[in-house]
Amino acid sequence: MKFYITTPIYYVNGAPHIGHAYTTVAADVLARWKRLEGHDVFFLTGTDEHGQKVEKAAAAAGLDPQSFTDRVAEQFREMTAWMGASNDDFIRTTEPRHKRACAALWQRLAERGEIYLGEYQGWYAVRDEAFYAESELVKGSDGALLAPSGAPVEWVREPSYFFRLSAWQDRLLAFYDAHPEFMAPLSRRNEVVNFVKSGLQDLSISRTSFRWGVPVPGDPGHVMYVWVDALTNYITAAGFPDEGAARWEFWPADLHLVGKDIIRFHAVYWPALLMAAGIAPPKRVFANGWWTVEGEKMSKSLGNVIDPHELVSRYGLDAVRYFLLREIPFGNDGSLSHRALVTRMNDELANDLGNLAQRSLSLLARHCAASLPAVSAPTVEDEVFLAAASALPARVAEALDRVAFSEALEEVWKIVRAANAYIDHQAPWALRRTDPPRMAAVLRVLADGLRIIATVLQPFMPGSMARMLDQLGVPAGARDLAALGAPLAAGTELPAPQALFPRFVEDAA
């Protein structure tokens, strides 16, 4: 089965920060999980490079927009690699393939009578790259009008092409009704449905007051509204307009992961544009919450913007990936704090999981001649533990299908805790003297449990779980979920155990 998952494409007006890395990691975990399940996965990420916001940032940096975007896009590509993302493609909206897809989508909409030329008069927030109705605006402390996001707005009046969005209101509502799974979490779904019910205006989809964008076919005085250009990236990468391309089999996308601030674009404009062009809308849009830092909003002026690279250098990639998805339910806001991260690292990774693996593997190394013991007739305790562990992949799958990362990890930790209770109760270190065959049997149960745990955790912590599977003697080609059906051969040689998760020790300073 095909599975197509995307991150938002990130604006290149500034360097990547942890908010960007977050969605990239979340999408990566799902992509890796779907591969473990045996799906044919296409995982897309990339950069959103047009529009006024980027044009202004380039001017502020004293560069032409193309050189500027080349430079910043490279930083995003590096961030993707730093976060361990296994993306299959990285799209930049300044690429020729993308401009071609935008032009093709535009032409289809025009041919179908969905676009007309008019004049836009209204409010625009460059920071959000969004048009706002006057009724949506709020007053700032100095009395100036602001977007609901707090972004400054300016009055715009210029010739513009419009998309007949208002005509899609009822069809969108019918679409949401027919596909309750299309938007999540529920709070965002309600927000979007209320927005659509409150009445849709036609959408201004071109600008004439600046040049940094994809030219409108047949009318190069206009550039496309950056959101129309940006959303199109998801079909560009799937090969559009070449619907015979092998990649096109991935469309419609299974899941767009987006931040809560951009759900409206993905859940209203995007399906309407696609349906209007006769293209299937995506299957699901899931909105994640926002991170604050030690409880404060991240901002350049507060100087608390977290560079993902620094975070990874300090705590390690797998600990950061684990923390981001474990700390808060996906969809909620959360605070990134040093203390919370260190607590998770030390209590859950180093103690719960690291010690369990270390204790089991070092007993196997020392007292089982570093080879995997045979499976023996199970006791009731063995059966209870192994039955719970065997049920784990299905539980993780169920949680991840709901995009509930923290619940998936909680399911894993139930088994980690059960394994710790099992080892403490069985005390294989004592059995060494009293009943060596039983010691071997217990260590084999633990090895089998650890194998399941490490297998399902690979998407979250690919590096450390690969090392754990190495140490358990699991062949590189037998690490997907299907492979769990076949027991490991008794006598498999086990490499010398190494610590998997270092404790984080505060600097003495």
The Cα–Cα gap between 204 and 9 comes to: 21
Q: How far is the CB of 241 from ligand MSP (least distance, A)?
A: 18
Q: How far is the CB of 262 from ligand MSP (least distance, A)?
A: 5
Q: How far is the CB of 249 from ligand MSP (least distance, A)?
A: 21
Task: Select from 73, 230, 364, 419 the one that contacts ligand MSP (CB under 6 A).
Answer: 230
The Cα–Cα gap between 114 and 128 comes to: 25
Whether residue 122 contacts residue 164, with contact meaning beta carbons closer than 8 Å, is answered with no
> Residue 28 or 382: which CB sits closer to ligand MSP?
28
The Cα–Cα gap between 69 and 12 comes to: 6
Task: Select from 54, 224, 231, 481 the one that contacts ligand MSP (CB under 6 A).
Answer: 231
> Residue 11 or 124: which CB sits closer to ligand MSP?
11
Task: Select from 4, 19, 213, 431 the one that contacts ligand MSP (CB under 6 A).
Answer: 19
Q: Is 398 helix (H, G, I), strand (E, B) or coil?
A: helix
> 292: part of which helix (H) or strand (E)?
strand 291-293
Does residue 4 bind ligand MSP (CB under 6 A)? no
Whether residue 228 contacts residue 102, with contact meaning beta carbons closer than 8 Å, is answered with yes
**Cβ neighbours of residue 444 closer than 8 Å, sequence gap 6 or more:** 372, 373, 374, 375, 376, 490
Q: How far is the CB of 312 from ligand MSP (least distance, A)?
A: 17
Whether residue 38 contacts residue 330, with contact meaning beta carbons closer than 8 Å, is answered with no
> 154: part of which helix (H) or strand (E)?
strand 154-163
- Select the span of 18-26, 27-35, 338-346, 370-378 touching ligand MSP (CB under 6 A): 18-26
- Select the span of 31-39, 147-155, 226-234, 353-361 touching ligand MSP (CB under 6 A): 226-234
Residue of 275, 222, 269 whose CA lies nearest to 252: 275
**Cβ neighbours of residue 312 closer than 8 Å, sequence gap 6 or more:** 82, 83, 320
Tokens of 227: 């959101």
> Residue 121 or 149: which CB sits closer to ligand MSP?
149
Interface size with ligand MSP, residues (CB under 6 A): 19
Tokens of 420: 């710790």
Tokens of 312: 């990874």
Ranges within 267-326 binding ligand MSP (CB under 6 A): 290-291, 298
The Cα–Cα gap between 201 and 248 comes to: 31
- Select the span of 2-10, 35-43, 381-389, 494-502 touching ligand MSP (CB under 6 A): 2-10
- Select the span of 5-13, 195-203, 345-353, 386-394 touching ligand MSP (CB under 6 A): 5-13
Exposure b/e, 279-312, CB count within 10 A at least 16 = b? bebbebbbbbbebbbeeeebeeeeeebbebbebb
Whether residue 308 contacts residue 75, with contact meaning beta carbons closer than 8 Å, is answered with no
Paired residues of 52 in beta bridges: none
Residue of 202, 46, 189 whose CA lies nearest to 115: 202
Q: How far is the CB of 322 from ligand MSP (least distance, A)?
A: 17
The Cα–Cα gap between 87 and 237 comes to: 12
Q: How far is the CB of 233 from ligand MSP (least distance, A)?
A: 6
Task: Select from 3, 4, 5, 8 the one that contacts ligand MSP (CB under 6 A).
Answer: 8
> Residue 79 or 431: which CB sits closer to ligand MSP?
79
Task: Select from 259, 329, 378, 463 the one that contacts ligand MSP (CB under 6 A).
Answer: 259
Task: Select from 4, 5, 9, 356 the one that contacts ligand MSP (CB under 6 A).
Answer: 9
Q: How far is the CB of 229 from ligand MSP (least distance, A)?
A: 9
**Cβ neighbours of residue 54 closer than 8 Å, sequence gap 6 or more:** 11, 12, 13, 48, 65, 68, 69, 212
Task: Select from 20, 99, 222, 359 the one that contacts ligand MSP (CB under 6 A).
Answer: 20
Does residue 11 bind ligand MSP (CB under 6 A)? yes
- Select the span of 210-218, 254-262, 338-346, 391-399 touching ligand MSP (CB under 6 A): 254-262
> Residue 297 or 417: which CB sits closer to ligand MSP?
297
Q: Rounded to the nearest 5 degrees, what angle is found at the Cα of 489, between the Cα atoms of 483 and 490?
A: 145
Tokens of 26: 């979340």
Task: Select from 172, 200, 258, 408 the one that contacts ligand MSP (CB under 6 A).
Answer: 258
> Residue 248 or 290: which CB sits closer to ligand MSP?
290
Give me the residue whose beta carbon is nearest to ligand MSP: 259
> Residue 160 or 236: which CB sits closer to ligand MSP?
236
Tell me 330's DSSP state: B
The Cα–Cα gap between 41 and 4 comes to: 6
- Residues 33-72: x where in contact with ligand MSP by CB under 6 A, - otherwise, as a string: ---------------x------------------------
Q: Does the bond joining 252 to the residue before it have cis omega, within 30 degrees of 0? A: yes
Ranges within 69-128 binding ligand MSP (CB under 6 A): none
- Would you say how long the chain is, in residues? 509
Does residue 497 bind ligand MSP (CB under 6 A)? no
First to last CA, the chain: 53
Binding region for ligand MSP (CB under 6 A): 8-11, 19-20, 22-23, 48, 230-231, 233, 258-259, 261-262, 290-291, 298
